[in-house]
Structure formats: structure tokens, C-alpha cells
């Protein structure tokens, strides 16, 4: 694909994402996730029609309902079951080779750790998980024993993993960083390439994803490096094409 096929794309139109506005990000993420799902299901004509709207106004909502906030009947405000959706997201965030030592090995020969907390591992790479802890609860124990154990566990966990910032601030900072790096325009370029059945040269990515900022010294052009483009490719898979996005969206909706 050549530069003329991306005349519609202007980084300035994506600038509001750089503020980290979580409601805006929730809409933008949900729309792209749904379009990707329809495209994977062979609904190319529908996706092409919807994508024309994004070319005109890339941050305008497409009308997909944000339904990820549905709760399990046993969920409370602060204590919730680990749903199957969160389990999938947690599994995708858990690296198999995090250095644990164990005498037990999985099917592929990787070490399985039965001693360290799963939350210690996932929080190293993804601070979105910093608001959660996942426990095994022995329902055969008495309520009194559970309450006492939970109180002791919570005190130890608070010391082990201090909560330094409200989750809203953490999510907002993460979303703002995605906005700065151009994750959404990169995704939109890749989606148009899929619809067209063409490849995008790196030079076109560089040109269209270059960001211009006004400074005291004049205009500053920030051009993405080769490594930055490689990171965007990885980010696109991790953000839009995995269960992680539903964890992010749930965190936004549950704080409303």
C-alpha cells in the first residue's frame, strides 16, 4: 500500500487518546475488537462499511455495546469470583518461563511453579493486574477460620504488594502511553491492509505515524524508530487480539 491510500489518516485526529481518557479508550478498544471479530468471521463487507466511518472520524463510536461489565451473581463490590473470561486473560498474561524452579513439568517441558503467587508473575509485565489477587479458598473450613486466615493473608499481602496509586490512575497512564505511541492508528492501518489484501511498507508506517508537537523551540517531529514499530506490532496483538482487552475494559467499567 502507498501513502495515497492513507491520506485520510492524520495523527492529530487521534490526539485525544493521549490524555488517557478511559471512557474514550473503552469505546475505541471495543469498536476495534468487534471489527476484528467480524473480520475473522468473514464479514469483510460489513467491516469495510464500518471502517469508512473510522476513516472520517476515527474516535467516533460505532455503536457496539460495552457489555463486558456483566457480573457473576456471587460478585461483590470488592470480592468477585475468578470468571472464565478473567481466567483466560490471566493465562495469556502469565509467562511460562518466568524462572520458577520446580520438580514438576508441563507438557512442553516448561517448569510449573507451585510456590510463588501467580499475581507476583503477571504484575511484573502488566500493571493492570495490580488491583487483583487470586486465591484458593477452602470451603470446607469454617467461616471463622476463613475470616481469620483472610485477615492475616490481607495484612501480609498489603505489606508484600503495597497499593501506591489508585487503579484509575494506573490505567489512565497506561492508556495515555498507548496514545503517545500511536497504537490505535497503527491498528487502523493494519486493518485497512487486511481489508485490501496488501502489505504496508515500513516507510509508509513511519510517515503516517510520525507525531508533530509544538514546543517552545518550534515544531518537533517525532518519528517512530524500527524498534518502536516492532513494539507496536507486538502491542497490537496483546491489546486488541487477546483476552487482556476484556480485563482492561472490565477494570474501566467497574470503576464507574
DSSP 222-247: EPPPHHHHHHHHHHHHHHHSSTHHHH
**C-beta separation of 47 from 38 below 8 A:** yes
- Within-domain flag for 159: no
pTM for the whole thing?
0.68
- Within-domain flag for 223: yes
Residues 60, 54: Cα–Cα separation, whole Å: 7
**C-beta separation of 13 from 240 below 8 A:** no
- Within-domain flag for 92: no
Is the pLDDT at 210 greater than 80, yes or no? yes
- Within-domain flag for 202: yes
Per mean pLDDT, which of 27-36, 87-96, 167-176 is the most reliable?
27-36
Higher pLDDT, 11 or 127: 11
- Within-domain flag for 29: yes
Ordered DSSP codes for 157-225:
HHHHS---S-HHHHHHHHHHHHHHHTHHHHHHHHHHHHHHT----HHHHHHHH-EEEEETTEEEEEPPP
SS3 for 76?
coil
- Within-domain flag for 221: yes
For the chain, the average pLDDT equals 80
Q: Residue 106 phi/psi, 5° resolution?
A: -80, -170
- Within-domain flag for 131: no
- Supply the range of the domain harboring residue 176: 3-66+170-254
- Within-domain flag for 62: yes
Q: How many domains does the chain have?
A: 1
Is the pLDDT at 239 greater than 90, yes or no? no
Residue 42 backbone class (left: φ over 0; alpha: ψ -120 to 50; beta: rest): left
Is the pLDDT at 94 greater than 70, yes or no? no
Burial class of residue 151 in the structure, from the number of CB atoms within 10 Å of its CB (0-12 exposed, 13-18 middle, 19+ buried):
exposed
Amino acid at each position: 500500500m502507498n501513502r495515497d491510500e492513507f491520506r485520510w489518516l492524520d495523527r492529530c485526529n487521534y490526539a485525544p487518546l493521549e490524555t488517557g481518557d478511559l471512557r474514550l479508550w473503552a469505546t475505541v478498544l471495543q469498536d476495534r475488537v468487534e471489527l476484528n471479530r467480524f473480520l475473522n468471521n468473514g464479514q469483510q463487507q460489513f467491516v469495510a462499511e464500518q471502517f469508512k466511518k473510522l476513516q472520517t472520524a476515527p474516535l467516533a463510536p460505532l455503536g457496539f455495546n460495552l457489555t463486558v461489565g456483566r457480573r457473576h451473581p456471587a460478585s461483590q463490590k470488592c470480592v468477585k469470583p475468578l470468571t472464565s473470561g478473567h481466567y483466560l486473560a490471566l493465562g495469556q498474561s502469565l509467562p511460562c518461563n518466568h524462572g520458577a524452579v520446580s520438580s514438576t513439568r508441563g507438557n512442553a517441558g516448561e517448569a510449573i511453579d507451585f510456590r510463588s503467587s501467580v499475581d507476583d508473575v503477571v504484575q511484573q509485565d502488566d500493571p493492570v493486574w495490580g488491583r487483583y489477587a487470586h486465591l484458593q479458598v477452602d470451603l470446607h473450613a469454617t467461616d471463622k477460620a476463613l475470616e481469620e486466615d483472610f485477615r492475616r493473608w490481607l495484612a501480609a499481602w498489603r505489606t508484600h504488594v503495597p497499593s501506591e496509586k489508585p487503579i484509575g490512575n494506573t490505567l489512565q497512564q497506561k492508556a495515555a502511553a498507548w496514545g503517545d505511541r500511536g497504537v490505535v492508528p497503527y491498528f487502523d492501518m493494519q486493518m485497512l491492509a487486511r481489508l485490501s489484501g496488501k502489505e504496508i511498507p515500513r516507510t509508509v508506517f513511519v510517515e503516517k505515524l510520525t507525531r508533530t508537537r509544538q514546543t517552545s523551540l518550534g515544531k518537533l517531529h517525532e518519528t517512530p524508530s524500527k524498534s518502536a514499530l516492532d513494539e507496536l506490532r507486538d502491542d497490537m496483538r496483546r491489546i486488541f487480539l487477546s483476552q487482556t482487552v476484556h480485563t482492561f475494559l472490565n477494570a474501566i467499567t467497574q470503576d464507574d
